[in-house]
Amino acid sequence: MAARGHVQDPNDRRLRPIYDYLDNGNNKMAIQQADKLLKKHKDLHCAKVLKAIGLQRTGKQDEAFSLAQEVATLEPTDDNSLQALTILYREMHRPELVTKLYEAAVKKVPLSEEYHSHLFMAYARVGEYKKMQQAGMALYKTVPKNPYYFWSVMSLVMQAISAQDEKLAQTMFLPLAERMVEKMVKEEKIEAEAEVQLYFMILERLGKYVEALDMVRGPLGEKLTSELQSRENKCMMMYQRLQLWPECNALSYKLLLKNPDEWQFYLSYFDSLFHLMDKSWSPPNEEEHCVEGPVHTTVAEAVKFVVDRMEEEDKKDSRPLRGPYMACLELIHRLRQRGCPDEEELGDPLELMLQFFGKFGDKPCCITDLKIYLHLLPPEQHTQFENRLGELVPLGEVGEDGFGFPGDTKALQRHLCVCQLSRVLGLQHTLDTEGKLCLITELKAHYHYGLQFGKSCLKTELQFSDTYCLMVAHVYIDLWTETGDENMLWQCLGVLEEGLSYSPSNAQFKLLLLLLFCRLGAFQPVVDLYSSLDAKHVQHDTIGYLLTRYAGSLGQFAAASQSYNFSLRFFHSNQKDTSEYIIQAYKYGAFEKIPEFIAFRTRLNQSLHFAQVRTERMLLDLYTEADMELTEEHRRLSLEEESVWLKVRSLTLRLLASLALLGHAPSKRNSDKTNENGVSAKSSTLQTLLSQLDLTLQTAAQITEKQTQYPFLGPPSSRLASALSSGSCHCQASALQLSLTLQELETTGLDDSSELQTQICNSFKSLIVQLQELLSRCKGDVLEMKDSRLMTQPSLLETLVFFVETVCVVLWVASYSASVLRPLKSSLQKKKKKKTKDSSTAMPVVLSGFQEWTGSLQGIVTQALDHVKGQEASLTALKLAALTLGVGHAQTQEECGFTRAAMDKVQTSYLGSLQELGDLLRKRADSLKSLKF
């Protein structure tokens, strides 16, 4: 046994139990064990670091850090300590310290491949590209392995990508990277495919397309084997960049013969064809057109090519491909764009689309395919098209209700496709109210009939007829927005709830419900829906922002903070994850992915934009409507609005924070004159922030003047407009402004400040008036029954939240006021005692004014609480069961049940919001009591 080559380090054995405790999450025991060990072995640094990890994980960050620094300053070179410190620093989110650690280790052990490589990775984690380049080279000089050399090259490319100055990238970083690779090429040292890919990346970024093309076509290109068609794709890219249309055309043609379903090559085939025609290109000689083979230069050739492809498909016994038929429509579209008369040779678009429907109508994708080319049909053909499509749908005998139904899922899918097309063509929108209600009846009948085909579906599967249900919901929304009849909205909610009961994993139902509940201001069901959506990862960003928009504004503070936490955790963990995988990409030579990873990380970091764009897309995907166009203008305005709102909020937050800071250091203000500098520095921060807030509010006012109306499925408008119109922004700003005046009083004192005092007292009074006005805007019923109809006013709830928020801000300022006034008062009393004889000293105006103010604030809060209580009482008293539903429309008992369930949810949610608001107000009211003196 003794002859065993590898002898275990005794320290490893000693440390093992600590590692185990840490692994099992038993941090306390780990700390104890480390202490024990350190008593015996004072110099066992790693034990210290492991103890620090234990401390860090039990929330003792400061202790952990100083312990770690004890070891770090010794510049350890043992693996255990280094690795443990790396883990610790990572958990502390201090990756930059890891670089210091290995910089020292590399100095002490300059020949260690391992430490050099750790150093490189440590730099990669913090994105120090320049140092990565050097570390990579140092590594290569220590151990001449190709990957190390190319790490260095890639780090140059990253410097180019991240350079602020594009010129620097083009004249320095990239040419240097190119020369480094060329050197290896000349010495015939290129080994791996990754190295060739990196070379290509460099040439491409340098705009050296000819060189890139030669390289890919040459011997180096032979290494590009992992990715399918890697060489062809890269050549194609270069042909397009170089506008080598003959080659582009010939290669597309070749690839399409091989695979007539590859859409991207149809596009490049057509693009190149028309470019060649515009240039009246002709082949240099008859035999060979270009290196890639024969080139098409006439419409006739293209028409024949496409027609041949379709005929090939027609002849096939197996499933036909969609590509050639779509290519035919695409070619017509392009010819028409050019005003070229030859499109007739391909046929009538109407007939071609009918043919397409005949072949693929039973596939759900038929609608997304045809949608792109509907513009080829003139409006007067739309109805004809719909009717002809209808003829191709096999439906059963017409029953008592006047409808015929499909006999199987294929027929159902065809029927659905026709319904969807008619919506996309706008035919449903032209119907009047009666027509739309009839349409709803028909779609509902189909929906219910179709459910029989999905009886054996698993819970995770969608029902075949779900789309009917979704369409019903959208027609209801049309009716609601057109007529304002809230009944339509309730029925819409009902039908979606019903759909969800049969198809519990349908995300489109959930998203639409989520949106509607949000608009109704009923946040509780939204939370359930969101969690049942099982939103993952990026979706926290893309859908989550809807939650964060509404949760807070509807008084569901607990839910709001939960959803903020979700999102924050997602952003934080991704910050870390992305860095780890950037490092992995270096290790495996996936150089092309590195810029993508980094771009992704940047994107997450700038997420306001990301979130919005994605949400809009996702909501748009819910359903595409002919008349719903979310324009670029809408996107821009929405982003602008959200950004300004964000600015208002963050300024308010910073103002409150600096107030808190001022309030906490009250003791020194009288005695310590030297502190004045500090105070004035703080007050100037306050001033700067206040003037920024003022400016932002001005911008905000300009934006809201435009009164942008977003489409229903577009982004929700931000809270900005209502925050401004309710007066809450203005009231908060004037409260914060008051704190500045109070600061002035603090330095002036009570004796020579009568003007200032009057000014403060006026502000007190004006704030009361503003709050009173804000509160009066909250009056009314959020939910009420009128003529056996249920009506909502969610905006009242939002205003109430603004009121509560504003009360909170005012109370912050009030407690700051108290902290300023209290010492002034007590020094006054001291003076009084000294001059007991002089009884003429009246109470200063500002003190009596403050007393009066807190009294009025108390009064307003009590009023608000009464209002909340009253609303709670009237909500509880509402008996939804008394509503007669389905008046005028044939709603079954079951359908009424679902509608009622939706109403219940709204009612319960409103109650929940009111309770939370009431609780918050009560707590704040308590804090008021402590302000009196």
Select 346 or 735, whichever has its Cβ closest to other proteins.
346
**Contact yes or no for 134/176 (Cβ under 8 A):** no
Count CA within 13 A, CB hemisphere, residue 687.
10
Gap between the Cα atoms of 16 and 12, Å rounded: 6
* Residues 615-644 contacting other proteins, CB under 8 A: 618
Compare residues 421 and 538 and give the one whose CB is closer to other proteins.
538
- Of the two residues 362 and 916, which places its CB atom closer to other proteins in the complex? 362
Q: Which residues pair with 406 in a beta bridge?
A: 395
364 vs 399, which CB is nearer to other proteins? 364
Where are the extended beta strands (E) located within 579-668?
none
In whole angstroms, the minimum distance from the beta carbon of 57 to other proteins comes to 21
> What ranges in 750-844 are assigned the alpha helix state H?
754-776, 794-834
Those residues whose C-beta lies under 8 Å from the C-beta of residue 96, and which sit 6 or more positions away, are 126
For the record, the structure tokens of 183 come out as 């050197």
Q: Is 222 in the site for other proteins (CB under 8 A)?
A: no
- Dig out the tokens for 262 from the structure: 């590859």
Strand partners, 453: none
The CA-based angle 719-720-724, given to 5 degrees, is 120
The residue among 202, 211, 109 whose CA lies nearest residue 156 is: 202
Task: Indicate the burial class of 347 (C-beta count within 10 angstroms; 0-12, 13-18, 19 or more).
Answer: middle
Of 611 and 814, CB closest to other proteins: 611
Task: Please report how many Cα atoms fall inside a 13 Å half-sphere around the Cα of residue 662, on the Cβ side.
Answer: 30
Size, binding site for other proteins by CB under 8 A? 51
- Tell me: does residue 269 bind other proteins (CB under 8 A): no
Gap between the Cα atoms of 536 and 523, Å rounded: 20
Compute, in degrees rounded to 10, the torsion defined by CA atoms 865, 868, 869, 872: -160
Residue 418 within binding range of other proteins, rule CB under 8 A: no
Site membership for other proteins, residue 314 (CB under 8 A): no
Single out the residue of 515, 489, 721, 474 nearest to residue 616, CA to CA.
Answer: 515
List the x/- string, 430-469, binding to other proteins by CB under 8 A. --------------------------------x-------
- What residues from 244 to 263 belong to the interface with other proteins (CB under 8 A)? 261-263
The CA-based dihedral angle spanning residues 809, 813, 816, 822, taken in that order and rounded to the nearest 10 degrees: -130
Q: 593 or 789, CB closer to other proteins?
A: 593
Name the DSSP class of 75. Answer: -
369 binds other proteins (CB under 8 A): yes
Q: Which of 536, 673, 786, 833 binds other proteins (CB under 8 A)?
A: 536
Residue 607 CB, nearest approach to other proteins (Å): 13
- Minimum CB separation of residue 617 from other proteins in Å reads 8
In the complex, least distance from residue 318 CB atom to other proteins, rounded to whole angstroms: 8
Residues 554-613 close enough to bind other proteins by CB under 8 A: 574, 577-578, 580-582, 584-585, 587-588, 590, 592-593, 596-597, 599-600, 603
Single out the residue of 54, 95, 221, 323 in contact with other proteins (rule: CB under 8 A).
Answer: 323
- Site for other proteins, residues 764 to 823, rule: CB under 8 A: none
- Minimum CB separation of residue 151 from other proteins in Å reads 14
Of 538, 533, 618, residue with least CA distance to 578: 538
DSSP for 484-518, written as a single string: --HHHHHHHHHHHHHHHHH-TT-HHHHHHHHHHHH
538 counts as binding other proteins under rule CB under 8 A: yes
Give the residue with the Cβ less far from other proteins, 319 or 459: 319
Instruction: Give min distance, CB of 388 to other proteins, in A.
Output: 23
Q: Does 650 bind other proteins (CB under 8 A)?
A: no
User: By CB under 8 A, which span of 134-142, 151-159, 221-229, 436-444 interacts with other proteins?
Assistant: 221-229
Is 60 an interacting residue with respect to other proteins (CB under 8 A)? Answer: no
Return the number of the residue (262 or 872) whose C-beta is nearest other proteins: 262
Check: CB of residue 451 under 8 Å from CB of residue 466. no
Query: CA-CA distance, 567 to 99, in Å (whole number)?
Result: 30
Is residue 231 part of the contact set for other proteins (CB under 8 A)?
no
CA 105 to CA 280: how far, in whole Å? 67
Q: Please identify, using beta-carbon distances, which residue of 227 and 866 lies nearer to other proteins.
A: 227
Q: Could you give the CA distance from residue 723 to residue 730 in angstroms, rounded to a whole number?
A: 9
Residues 676-735 that bind other proteins (CB under 8 A): none
Please say which residue, 36 or 593, places its beta carbon nearer to other proteins.
593
Rounded Cα distance between 156 and 337, Å, is 45
Closest approach of other proteins to the CB of residue 717, in Å: 24
Residue 225 touches other proteins, criterion: CB under 8 A: yes
CB of 258 to other proteins, least distance (A): 13
Q: Which of 388, 614, 634, 649 binds other proteins (CB under 8 A)?
A: 614
Cα–Cα distance, 98 to 91 (Å, whole number): 11
Q: Which residues contact 415 (CB under 8 A, 6 or more apart)?
A: 393, 395, 406, 446
CB nearer to other proteins: give 542 or 728: 542
**What is the rounded end-to-end Cα distance, in angstroms, of the chain?**
83
Shortest spacing between CB 227 and other proteins, in angstroms: 4
Give the range of 48-56, 325-333, 424-432, 911-919 binding other proteins by CB under 8 A: 325-333
Nearer to other proteins, 524 or 542 (CB): 542
Residue selected from 38, 257, 321, 392 as contacting other proteins according to rule CB under 8 A: 321
Euclidean distance between CA atoms 702 and 689, whole angstroms: 20
Q: How far is the CB of 6 from other proteins (least distance, A)?
A: 23
Stretch that binds other proteins, among 165-173, 318-326, 397-405, 662-670 (CB under 8 A): 318-326
885 backbone dihedrals φ, ψ, rounded to 5°: -95, 165
Closest residue by Cα to residue 64 from 78, 51, 73: 51
Provide the mask over 336-365, with x wherever binding to other proteins is found by CB under 8 A and - wherever it is not.
---------------------------xxx
Q: How far is the CB of 468 from other proteins (least distance, A)?
A: 15
Minimum distance from CB of 409 to other proteins (Å)?
Answer: 11
What is the closest distance, in whole angstroms, from the C-beta atom of residue 609 to other proteins in the complex?
13
SS3 for 159-184 is HHHHCCCHHHHHHHHHHHHHHHHHHH
Of 603 and 869, which CB lies nearer to other proteins in the complex structure? 603
Q: Side chain identity at 24, as an amino acid letter?
A: N
**Residue holding tokens 């410190």?**
85
User: CB-wise, 167 or 536, nearer to other proteins?
Assistant: 536
The structure tokens listed for 402 are 């006047």
Instruction: Give the binding site for other proteins (CB under 8 A).
Output: 225-228, 230, 261-264, 266, 319, 321-324, 326-327, 330, 363-365, 368-369, 371-372, 462, 536-539, 542, 574, 577-578, 580-582, 584-585, 587-588, 590, 592-593, 596-597, 599-600, 603, 614, 618
